[in-house]
Amino acid sequence: MANHHNVATQLTHYKTHSFAIQNQARHGNVTNYGGTVSPGDPLGVPGVLTVSSNYTQTPSATLEVQIGGGDPGQVSVLNVLGSANLNGSLDPELVNGFVPSVGQSFTILGYASVTGSFSHIQNQVFDSGRKRWVLVYQPTGAALVVVNNGRNDSH
């Protein structure tokens, strides 16, 4: 529990700033009360943040993920070994000039279980309005998938 309080306090202090830890692990529960958690670094380099227990995100908080290519090392991932309790925003950030193609999928979140969901995806439409992100939650993780924006595929 001590770890929980330490990390939670730290995140509270980052209410208007990014909380970026690249390629590191956090022990215990992590609660994002209203700040921005970014597994990558603030300059836009993708990274992996592993939470050893549960991750909770409140309605005013944001998870920011960097996507700079199709390879695993080019995508930020929040890896939650316990339960991901989701709310608030997801902010996918395209970096290094990368523009994904329709059909590409990027796993940005791993978890043992999940409750809730992000209520908002920031910058959901991109590439001059041609594409948009769809977030698909599966039993062990969530992936951002690129679909055409505004095209009616149905007959």
Partner 1 sequence: MVSIHEYQVRPRRDRLGVDLISDALPFRCALLSGKNAQADAIDYANLFSGSHAVIRVYNAAGKLIETHEAFSRARDDKTASCNQ
What residue ranges bind partner 1 (CB under 8 A)? 70-72, 74-75, 101-107, 116-121, 134-141, 143, 145, 147-148, 153-155
Minimum CB separation of residue 13 from partner 1 in Å reads 29
Minimum CB separation of residue 124 from partner 1 in Å reads 9
Cβ closer to partner 1: 96 or 119?
119
Cβ closer to partner 1: 11 or 77?
77
Minimum CB separation of residue 109 from partner 1 in Å reads 11
The encoded tokens of residue 49 equal 């943040």
Cβ closer to partner 1: 8 or 135?
135
Cβ closer to partner 1: 59 or 70?
70
CA distance 40 to 75: 9
Cβ closer to partner 1: 5 or 120?
120
CA distance 12 to 14: 5
Residue given tokens 């902010």 in the structure block: 91
A 10 A CB-CB count for 51 gives: 25
Minimum CB separation of residue 55 from partner 1 in Å reads 17
Q: Is the Cα dihedral 67, 56, 137, 79 positive or negative? A: positive
Helix (H, G, I), strand (E, B) or coil at 13: helix
The encoded tokens of residue 105 equal 């999928």
The encoded tokens of residue 110 equal 């791993």
Minimum CB separation of residue 22 from partner 1 in Å reads 18
DSSP letter, residue 59: T
Whether 60 and 88 have beta carbons less than 8 Å apart is answered as: yes
